Amino acid sequence: MTRKPLARRTFLVAAALAVASAGYAQDAPKELRIAFQKGSVGLSLLKQRGTLERRLPGVAVKWIEFPAGPQLLEALAVGSADIGAVGDTPPIFAQAAGKDLVYVGVEPPRPDSSAILVAKDSPIKSLSDLKGRKVAFQKGSSAHYLTVRALEKAGLAYTDIEPVYLPPADARAAFERGSVDAWAIWDPYFAAAEQVPSTRVLVTGRDLTSNNSFYIATRDFAARNAESIGILFDELNQTDAFAHARRREAAALYASFAGLDPKVVETVFARRARANIGPLTPAIVEDQQRVADAFYALALIPRAVRVSEVVWQPGRVALNRVR
């Protein structure tokens, strides 16, 4: 990234947060409904710490957990939540389906936090061996895109495998029973499965996908609540700083909430880069457009979409309000 885009990004985030600190009480929503997943480490820790509630006095903060991104975005689309965190693929499927949602923020890439798993004694030794096999993953999730990219790398067509669309818990059960040959999944499910001796990592997302995590909101909420979003991102970044400075304490909080073994949590944390959550850069939008184009080329979404059309511009909102 060049100095100029980085400076602009920093300035816009600072402007948004400055406005958030200035006139927040005037426009505060009565309720903030945050949708998250078990893999949303930042949001999970923020929920456990309770610091967001202290930053938003008088606002009823509600936390709603979902098994995966597609279900989470469906809740946003029908008005059951205001903002949430998902991987790269769910927003593409939502946009293609006409859901009125917008990208409001992004975390740094975490390509090592997702993988395609096989049994330790499986005859599948390379990606090309997936041909004719049953591969389980959540439809419309980041694991779906990882599978698409893995097949491309192996020179296989999507039709060369038998996709088995299952949410994480059901996919794990099918994988452990041997009902499927491979399982594409993300952390913390990936980290948990990795601890099982009978499981082998076929490939991670490294060199296949950025595995970006996005913050998505309803268009109406984003338009009316720049301050709330700015405060949420500020608290998430502070929570991330806490997680790095006091890792043992943060790991204990997350393990308690997620019901995970400390070894699993340590693996999840080790694969996490520093957060620095902020607006989408042009490079991120371009990367996300490649995800959209890949699904459209395979006819897995009903129409082509332009990601840039649903990217919220918090800096513009903040600067307009400052004037």
Predicted confidence at residue 276, as pLDDT, reads 84
Q: What is the mean pLDDT of the chain?
A: 89
**Does 3-109+212-322 carry CATH code 3.40.190.10?**
yes
- Higher pLDDT residue, 274 or 63? 63
pLDDT tens for 194-244 read: 999 999 999 999 999 999 999 999 999 999 999 999 999 999 999 999 999
pLDDT at 270 over 50: yes
For the record, the structure tokens of 147 come out as 């599978």
* Domains 3-109+212-322 and 111-204 are alike in CATH topology: yes
For the record, the structure tokens of 225 come out as 């609540």
Predicted confidence at residue 315, as pLDDT, reads 57
pLDDT at 110 over 60: yes
CATH class belonging to 111-204: alpha beta
pLDDT at 321 over 90: no
What is the rounded distance in angstroms from the CA atom of residue 55 to the CA atom of residue 118?
Answer: 45
pLDDT at 170 over 70: yes
| Domain locations in the chain as residue ranges | 3-109+212-322, 111-204
pLDDT tens for 4-57 read: 343 344 434 444 444 444 444 446 789 999 999 988 999 999 999 999 999 999
pLDDT tens for 141-161 read: 999 999 999 999 999 999 999
Using 50, 70 and 90 to split pLDDT, how confident is the model at 273? confident
pLDDT tens for 301-314 read: 999 999 999 999 86
